[in-house]
Structure 1
Amino acid sequence: MEYRVLGRSGLKVSEVSLGCWAIGGPSWRDGNPVGWSGNNDNESLAGLRRAHELGINHFDTADVYGDGHSERVIGKFLQEVPRESVIIASKVGWFKGTAPNAMQPIHIRHQLEQTLTNLGTDYLDIYYFHNANFGPNDQFLEDAAEMMRELQKEGKVRVIGQSAYSYADFMRVCPVTRPDVLQFHYNAFGNQFDQPETNLFRWAEEQNVGMVLFGPLAQGLLLDKFDPDNPPQFGEGDIRSSNQSYSRERLLEIRRKLQPIKERLGSEAQDLVRAAIQYALAKSPNACVIPGFKNARQVESNAQAAGKPLTTQEAEFIQQILRG
């Protein structure tokens, strides 16, 4: 396993870390599916243990993943390993309970205490604002940021993070939240975060801010693992059930695009895992990736992609093929 420092945070994390959304299981928010089906807690725990054995030291979760279930599964794992051997991150912002907004300061404190209880620890290494929704006219923004800094002073949070879903949102809230780590969606399909006018990688490097990239495998779409003639069916509470990318037409289109990449970099699933993960890692030395998992086999596959960087020409080839 290779390790990277997340910018000025000073946190040294495995370049391939783990996202723990899927092990939270099915869940809903405002009637919409926002979880994952097909999880099994024993397999989830086996995956976490295997990750630790392989040198993966950074585990990312959130209060909303299975409404605390992901955190509780990780809590069982933390009973088995030295706390200082792992970097644990969680988030607040999508689950508002009875608060008017999930970023109301007293709610942030409550959610942190519940997260710490779920995890069985007395501090988080990274605590993220999970989004940039701080209420109408950002009414809770300044007070939420102040609450985070207070929790940091109390020793319950080591590093403050900010997650968001647009460049404009990051630029709006980061001057107030002053995060040392950003988390955002990125993979080889590309998005606004690598465009000239909205290049978040460049901005973060200028600020010496660490980056944690989720979705590097595009929820399996970059691995050519789904049969277009028999598109996958997802259970209740699974966010993928409403994703049109799993349609026959889109799966066929992706398969055609992946063919020249398979011819150049290898046609096995593991070759595509390596290509996808290393493409994302090539964007910045201050970045790590957090692919998801449900079992030890997937953890091993993710970890096997570490330490095998693409050449500049290979990364450019992938970009040209997928977006050309």
Structure 2
Amino acid sequence: MTAFMPDDTFLQRGLAAGMSATSGFHSSKPSPVSPDLAGKNILPQSVVPSPTDRIEFKTAKGPPVKTSPICIGAWPWGDKGTWHWTEDELPNVKAAWKYLYESGINFIDTAAVYGDGRSEEIVGELVRGLPRDSVVVQTKWLGLPTAAENYVHPVDAPVIECKKSLARLGLDYVDVYMVHGPIHPQSIKNVAKGLAKLVDQGLARAVAVANYDTADVKKMEAALAEHGVPLAAQQVEYNVLRRLPETTGQIAECRQRGIVFQTYSSLAQGRLSGKYSADNPPPKTYRFSKYDMKDVEPTLQVLRGIAQKRGKSVASVSLNWVVSEGGLPLVGIRNEQQAKDAVEALGWRLTEEEVDQCILMCSKCVIRPTVHKGEAS
């Protein structure tokens, strides 16, 4: 690992130590979520996103960034530490992307830290040759407190790292540039200045944050506003098992402010896909939304029942639950079947009763992080 580019075991070392993607460390004990939250964030039944529908991200200049209602998470591409990537998987990824793109999905999320930058290179390969305005690329700046440039260039560090990402992507600009988490040693005001520079220089169309608590989302929004730049999105861990953004009111806050609410680990790293069970658990490196599968089984039974009744896959039902709650889910894709499951999650809606059924059942197996700062999300 270098000070500027962590290797692909960096996240694993932190997660193995119990680090949360939010603030604090994960508890090993389940904590139920109040059933009173059922129905609080459900979108009107008239809202039925299809793969060709578009969600708008606010920009400071020009038209909004328009994305599909599902985003393809590119963390697995090139990442050996968590996802055990091998280069012979690349043809499957290319076939999956072809299916997704032809189905109307136009949004890919990556990051400098994924696979030592290999993920960004693969994304660049996939979008090369396509009309630039037909795809939306989002990448992230980690802002490690161990990186010297965050002290030497507290404002320009995001600009410096974005240019490196653009070189790996082979692009002139990214559609969305995101702060990967609130670990940066710079003040939010200095980070906001750097993000505003990116927009001013045409290196990013929109800017966003990830893993911020609600208070810091508001601070970043205000700091960016001083430069005439809107905060376009917030990305956090959220699924039917992990509902902290809901219990803290962050979903409602983002909706009120016109900030797109993105979700990662939307399938709990496969735990909500129907692929895994108590007898066939996911790999130990899949540490986000980490639960003993026997504790997840009650929720999976509900999801399987809904999937069977509707003729959908369990993964599609799980993703539709996030969409129904107002989230824009990221989902990792490594093959064409997973791509089909993602597309199948759109064009229909769970009923409010089905959404609530999942919520009430999973209240027995939710694990919440121990929060040390504010209200982590």
Which TM-score tier does this pair reach, normalised by the shorter chain? Answer: 0.7 to 0.9
Residue 175 of structure 1: CA displacement? 3.0
Residue 208 of structure 1: CA displacement? 1.1
Per-residue displacement from partner, 1:131-184 (whole Å, max 9, x unpaired)? 11231xxx4432221111011011111001111154454345443245121111
Query: Cα distance 1:145–1:94, how it changes in 2: closer, same or farther (>3 A)?
Result: closer
Paired residues of 2:180 and 2:211 also in contact (CA < 8 A): yes
TM-score (ref. length: structure 1):
0.84
Residue 99 of structure 1: CA displacement? 2.1
* Cα separation, 2, equivalents of 1:147 and 1:311: 43
* Cα separation, 2, equivalents of 1:94 and 1:159: 18
Query: Cα distance 1:25–1:155, how it changes in 2: closer, same or farther (>3 A)?
Result: same
Per-residue displacement from partner, 1:44-69 (whole Å, max 9, x unpaired)? 22222222111110111111111110
Which runs of structure 2 are paired with 1:272-311 in the superposition (5 Å)? 272-284=314-326, 287-311=327-351
Unpaired segments ≥5 residues, structure 2: 1-50, 225-229, 365-377
Residue aligning to 2:45: none
* Cα separation, 2, equivalents of 1:104 and 1:267: 54
Moved more, 151-160 or 106-115: 106-115
Pairwise CA RMSD: 2.5
Residue 293 of structure 1: CA displacement? 1.1
Give secondary structure in 2 for the equivalent of 1:133.
Answer: coil
Corresponding residue to 2:240 among 188, 209, 217: 188
Give the paired residue count. Answer: 302
Q: Which amino acid aligns with 1:54?
A: S
* Cα separation, 1, equivalents of 2:289 and 2:262: 26
Which runs of structure 2 are paired with 1:80-119 in the superposition (5 Å)? 80-93=129-142, 98-99=147-148, 101=150, 104-119=154-169
* Cα separation, 2, equivalents of 1:181 and 1:313: 29
Paired residues of 2:189 and 2:220 also in contact (CA < 8 A): no
Residue 310 of structure 1: CA displacement? 0.8
Which runs of structure 2 are paired with 1:110-189 in the superposition (5 Å)? 110-135=160-185, 139-177=186-224, 179-189=231-241
Query: Cα distance 1:154–1:95, how it changes in 2: closer, same or farther (>3 A)?
Result: same
* Cα separation, 2, equivalents of 1:148 and 1:243: 28
Residue 252 in structure 1 maps to residue 302 in structure 2: no
Per-residue displacement from partner, 1:221-273 (whole Å, max 9, x unpaired)? 01231242343445xxxx42x56936xxx212212332233234427994311
Give secondary structure in 1 for the equivalent of 2:261.
Answer: strand
* Cα separation, 1, equivalents of 2:277 and 2:194: 48
* Cα separation, 2, equivalents of 1:73 and 1:146: 30
Identity score, percent = 24
* Cα separation, 2, equivalents of 1:278 and 1:272: 10
Per-residue displacement from partner, 1:4-44 (whole Å, max 9, x unpaired)? 323545322111221111113214xxxxxxx3214422222
Residue 262 in structure 1 maps to residue 267 in structure 2: no
TM-score (ref. length: structure 2):
0.73
Paired residues of 1:5 and 1:13 also in contact (CA < 8 A): yes
Query: Cα distance 1:141–1:167, how it changes in 2: closer, same or farther (>3 A)?
Result: closer
* Cα separation, 1, equivalents of 2:218 and 2:196: 19
Q: Which amino acid aligns with 1:44?
A: V
Q: Which amino acid aligns with 1:151?
A: L
Query: Cα distance 1:96–1:80, how it changes in 2: closer, same or farther (>3 A)?
Result: farther
Paired residues of 1:126 and 1:157 also in contact (CA < 8 A): yes
Query: Cα distance 1:252–1:260, how it changes in 2: closer, same or farther (>3 A)?
Result: same
Paired residues of 1:20 and 1:59 also in contact (CA < 8 A): yes
Paired residues of 1:216 and 1:290 also in contact (CA < 8 A): yes
Moved more, 306-315 or 139-148: 139-148
* Cα separation, 1, equivalents of 2:288 and 2:103: 32
Task: Give 4+ residue runs of structure 1 displaced > 4 Å after superposition.
Answer: 94-98, 267-270
Residue 71 of structure 1: CA displacement? 0.5
Residue 188 of structure 1: CA displacement? 0.9
Q: Which amino acid aligns with 1:304?
A: E
